[in-house]
Amino acid sequence: MKGAINSINESILFGKYRILSVLGAGGSGTVYLAEHLKLKVYRAIKIIPKESEAITSQCLEASLLKNLNHPGIPVIYDIEEDSRFVYMIEEYIQGESLDTFVHRQSYISQELVISFGIRLCGILEYLHQSMPYPVLYQDLKPEHIILCGDQLKLVDFGIAAFFTGSDKHFQFFGTEEFAAPEVLSGTCISPLSDMYSLGKILLYLINSHHTDCSVPLQRAILKACARSAEDRYETVGEFRSALEEVQESACLKVSHLCKKITLLGSKHGIGVTHIAVSLVSVLNQNGISSVYTKKDDADTLYSLLRNNPSAKERNGIYVYRSFLGLPDYGPGIENPVTKHYLTVEDGGVYSDGKAAAEKDSFLIYVFGGGEWDKYAWQSAADCLNFHENCVFLCNYGNKPAAKALAKQLHKPVYCFPSDFCAFTNTEEKERLFFTVLPLERSRKKFLPFIPKCRKNISL
């Protein structure tokens, strides 16, 4: 290995950390991925030359972080040094930045914006209530917010500092796009300056994909990032409460009649798994806690997530972006974490026995619409048409096939749009699922397709 590792001529540090690879390098030092030999867990080790100009700020960051304990803040496990280097042993955070996440999405819902806002408020609220002095983060921007499964984490506390009074001035090293006016002008800053940056982050999310934003949410965000600190909320906790009120008023809840949704297909490869994963991702991103399952098959879930290194396992549930998946652990083993979740079961290929067994579920029957598929879906339709809770879904955006079946059944048949990534939310998928399923939510977003002239929200 190059750099610090070569210069100290060892791949195992302090007898307990095995160096595995380089995570990044910059002017302040090099960050390595390491394995703790006894605990068998990963750590990030930042190695900083003592002659580096950044050594002071890095040590201040470590000193500040070592006393903080919050799931949204990186953990500093240890600090070591020798004659040439300082070694900061930190939590290894695996995920993607909010900036990267936004660019990977084709649509972001208002509910996800609110959810991110509430979680970020929680982190800032913890920092601002730290003792003996509040901690000001000072550099909130999308690149410093990491999505780790269903958790948000703030990284890079390089310019964070203790706030000891309202007359405190700080030298500005942050990002102008998200910095409060008082920061840019070099006047007094306070915890309200962090709140301003958070408001600007939420505006960034809304404007990045022209999110439909309710008036109450607009008011809450614009108050948080008012130009004058006196016009903002008094604390970030008040901002969080305002966001929670907007979230509650959106009436996002699951009907008592719908605790389980089962998807069945006309044949193998028709897209049942893709649609089930899409459904779970959309529901979770809209505040409805849902989990994917597939009986007698653990391999499907593992193969879905095999190529996604940021997928994580938590409490027996696999998490990736907005998707939650529960492996089949076998008969008699039930994960208690899922009892509050709406279950979306990947039922595989349709059979009469499966349909009878799922009489208490809401059924989605998926077919392809081709001539070779005609007998299969006609046979299933004759049975499922009498099922109390069943909708028919044509895959691949095949509207002609959907119309033909609708005419035969004398009931609506819907189309699942052409879709390349099941884990990515789109407005078309969201509109479809909330149209066909017995789920209650605001109707504003799910009117027929009417072109809208949308404008960015600005100050």
Amino acid (1-letter code) at residue 162: F
Read off the pTM: 0.64
d(CA 149, CA 151): 6
Alpha-carbon distance of 391 to 414, in angstroms, equals 8
Give the SS3 label for residue 354: helix
Residue type at 284? N
pLDDT of residue 443: 34
Task: Write the DSSP assignment of 96-116 as a string of letters.
Answer: EEHHHHHHH-S---HHHHHHH
CA distance 264 to 366: 6
What is the homologous superfamily of the domain 97-249 according to CATH? Transferase(Phosphotransferase) domain 1 (1.10.510.10)
**β-strand 290-293 against 342-349: which pairing, if any?**
parallel
At 219, list the tokens: 């008011």
Please report, for residues 17, 78, 80, 401, 446, the alpha-carbon distance to residue 51 in angstroms, rounded to integers and kept in the order given: 24, 21, 16, 70, 60
At the top level of CATH, which class does the domain 4-91 belong to?
alpha beta
Domain boundaries, the chain: 4-91, 97-249, 253-441
pLDDT (0 to 100) of residue 278:
94
CATH of domain 253-441: 3.40.50.300
The type of residue at 219 is: R
Q: Which amino acid is at 215?
A: V
For 99-138, b/e burial (b = at least 16 CB within 10 A) is eebeeebebbbbbbbbbbbbbbbbbbbbbbeeeeebbbbb
Residue 241's pLDDT is what? Answer: 95
Could you report the average pLDDT of every consecutive run of 10 residues in the chain (459 residues)?
48 88 77 91 88 70 78 87 86 88 84 92 92 84 86 78 54 72 84 94 90 87 94 95 84 52 88 93 84 79 74 78 81 61 87 59 82 64 66 83 78 86 88 81 32 45
The predicted structure's pLDDT at residue 185: 84
Q: What is the pLDDT of residue 391?
A: 85
Angstrom CA distances, 115 to 79, 144, 438, stand at 34, 17, 23
- What's the pLDDT at 148? 83
